[in-house]
Chains A and B, each alone.
Chain A
Amino acid sequence: MNKSNDEYKKYVERHAVPSPIVSNCVKAFLVGGTICCMGQVLFLLYKNVLEMSEINARALVSATLIFGAILLTGFDVFDDIAKFGGAGTLVPITGFANAVVAPALDTKAEGWILGVGAKLFTISGPVILYGTLASAVYGTVYYIVMLIMR
């Protein structure tokens, strides 16, 4: 009771049951690896069988995985896989897709404009914002470097 806030914080951190980090990592590796492996199979399929360019095949792989993740979210299965796989479902594009659709499903009652329309981006919005921002910064640097080098 007489502990200072810092002492109490340290005590609480020591006391806390730690996350089962080793088993979490193994699961994340297996689930994430499997999703990427599926991506590779699809990529080869699109490239070799449908004879698409690498860039287009890659884009279609993303779209396919996004579609799959959204379907699984709709059927109330994705959160179970994510509970098991942790970062294994978060880091692949599937995590982004889930982040888009989950708030959309949830906010229908708040209307199509300020509910679904606005909340669709609550988690994925920052990803698009900072990703685009980073690309614009890189583009500017790249442009200047190219000017100098020419």
Chain B
Amino acid sequence: MRKIIKFKNKPKILSSASVVGKKENRGPLSKYFDIHDETDKFGQKTFEQAESEMQRLALNLALSKIKTPQKNIEAVFAGDLMNQCTGSSYGLASFGIPYFGLYGACSTAAEGLILSGMTVNSGIYEKVACLSSSHNSSAERQFRFPLEYGNQRPPTAQWTATAAAAFIIGKEDTEEFKSYACLAEALAGKIIDKGISDANNMGAAMAPAAADTILRFFSQNKHSPEDFDLIVTGDLGYEGHSICKEILADEGLKLGDNFNDCGKLIFDKETQDTHSGGSGCGCSASVTAGYIMEGFKNGIFRDVLLVGTGALMSPMSIQQGLSIAGIGHLIRISAVDKNEE
């Protein structure tokens, strides 16, 4: 049995920062994001370089929020969607922090948090950083069409969020700043392929993987879904989230209003023309770093499950007609002063 990872030493989320584009800043979560840019270019020449710059800004801000110099960070776990993770490697090169490049598609934020939690919990590292990003324009260029190409998106298509987020995970609080949330448990996802090959319906491709992880989590412990203030999937969107909910219901796990999706939260479906909702590495990352962490700070959230979802494909696999496999990494974030198993 693949067991739930329990972080006994409760690695703390010392700091988090989010950087978003214009559309995200016009969305319902606008007030939770730290930095935005009206041009989506962040002063750079290309959208790809802009994505790197967003990671740089996010890490800088996350560090400065707790007045921690970059030399105190022992490792960084980061990833994005751009060719061979160039967003992360170019964006983080100047920091000189030992770097682990991750590719978990849009589940990268959750994957990074799990790895951060494991290394800090075990005492290998004192303080690490975890980042991920996506940029609508770089993703459109890589996965879909040129930006000025005129086409209609079907209702099940999702909108890659222009967003980056950074988290600093550490063993102890710094002297000046107290953290609000910590990593409590985690469950890594399995690669699940249910044969969906429609790149315009990623939600449906990822829903079974998210459902599998959620089912495995609740079958292994005494928790019930009502124990959590929020159970949030990464970027299933309206379509995938509703499929996931139906799969779980079929398996006898009824989830209520506390079950939501970062892709649904980040945009306003009615006014922003984003169809099935947001997607991309930056989607779940920025919603967690902004909205969810703010919730912990205000005491609205005490216990949250984040299931970072990813579609494991490439433009090549789509062109060759292969189906899209999904993955769902679960991480449980709890309030620091919450004391129970």
- Residues in A whose Cβ lies below 8 Å from that of B250: 1
- Closest CB of chain B to A54's CB: distance in Å? 30
Main secondary structure of the interface of A (DSSP, over half): helix
In the complex, what distance in Å separates the CA atom of A46 from the CA atom of B45? 43
A15 near B204 with CB under 8 A, answer: yes
In the complex, what distance in Å separates the CA atom of A40 from the CA atom of B108? 54
**Out of A12, A81, A102, which one reaches B146, CB within 8 Å?**
A102
Interface residue ranges of A9-26 to B (CB < 8 Å): 9, 11-12, 15-20, 24
A12 near B150 with CB under 8 A, answer: no
A106 near B150 with CB under 8 A, answer: no
- Closest CB of chain B to A102's CB: distance in Å? 4
Interface size on B, residues (CB 8 A): 36
- Residues in B whose Cβ lies below 8 Å from that of A118: none
**Out of B151, B196, B251, which one reaches A82, CB within 8 Å?**
B151
- Please tell me which stretch of A56-64, A71-79, A130-138, A142-150 contacts chain B, meaning at least 4 of its Cβ atoms lie within 8 angstroms of it: A71-79
In the complex, what distance in Å separates the CA atom of A81 from the CA atom of B149? 11
- Residues in B whose Cβ lies below 8 Å from that of A11: 243
**Out of A76, A90, A101, A106, which one reaches B141, CB within 8 Å?**
A106
Is A32 among interface residues, defined by CB-CB distance under 8 A? no
**Out of B147, B149, B152, which one reaches A86, CB within 8 Å?**
B152
**Out of B145, B154, B208, which one reaches A8, CB within 8 Å?**
B208
Quick one: given A5-B194, A16-B201, are A78 and B45 in contact (CB under 8 Å)?
A: no
Interface residue ranges of B195-239 to A (CB < 8 Å): 195-196, 201, 204, 208, 211-212, 215, 238-239
- Closest CB of chain A to B71's CB: distance in Å? 34
Interface residue ranges of A91-105 to B (CB < 8 Å): 95, 98-99, 101-103, 105
- Residues in A whose Cβ lies below 8 Å from that of B238: 17
A76 near B251 with CB under 8 A, answer: no
Interface size on A, residues (CB 8 A): 39
In the complex, what distance in Å separates the CA atom of A19 from the CA atom of B154? 6
B205 nearest in chain A by CB position? A12
In the complex, what distance in Å separates the CA atom of A17 from the CA atom of B154? 9
Is B155 among interface residues, defined by CB-CB distance under 8 A? yes
B146 near A1 with CB under 8 A, answer: no
B247 near A12 with CB under 8 A, answer: no
Is B258 among interface residues, defined by CB-CB distance under 8 A? no
In the complex, what distance in Å separates the CA atom of A129 from the CA atom of B188? 47
- Closest CB of chain A to B201's CB: distance in Å? 6
Is A55 among interface residues, defined by CB-CB distance under 8 A? no
- Closest CB of chain B to A73's CB: distance in Å? 5
B146 near A105 with CB under 8 A, answer: yes
B binding-site residues for A, Cβ under 8 Å: 45-46, 48, 141, 145-156, 193-196, 201, 204, 208, 211-212, 215, 238-239, 242-243, 246-247, 250-251, 276, 323
A binding-site residues for B, Cβ under 8 Å: 1, 3, 5-6, 8-9, 11-12, 15-20, 24, 73-74, 76, 78-79, 81-83, 86, 89-90, 95, 98-99, 101-103, 105-107, 109, 119, 122-123
Considering the complex of A and B, which 5 residue pairs feature the smallest CB-CB distances, nearest first? A82-B150, A5-B195, A102-B149, A102-B146, A106-B146
In the assembled complex, 30 residue pairs joining A and B whose CB atoms fall closer than 8 Å, in A order, are A1-B212, A1-B250, A5-B195, A6-B195, A8-B194, A9-B194, A9-B196, A12-B243, A15-B204, A16-B155, A16-B156, A16-B201, A17-B155, A73-B148, A74-B148, A78-B148, A79-B150, A79-B151, A89-B150, A90-B151, A98-B148, A98-B149, A98-B150, A102-B149, A105-B146, A105-B148, A106-B146, A119-B146, A122-B146, A123-B149
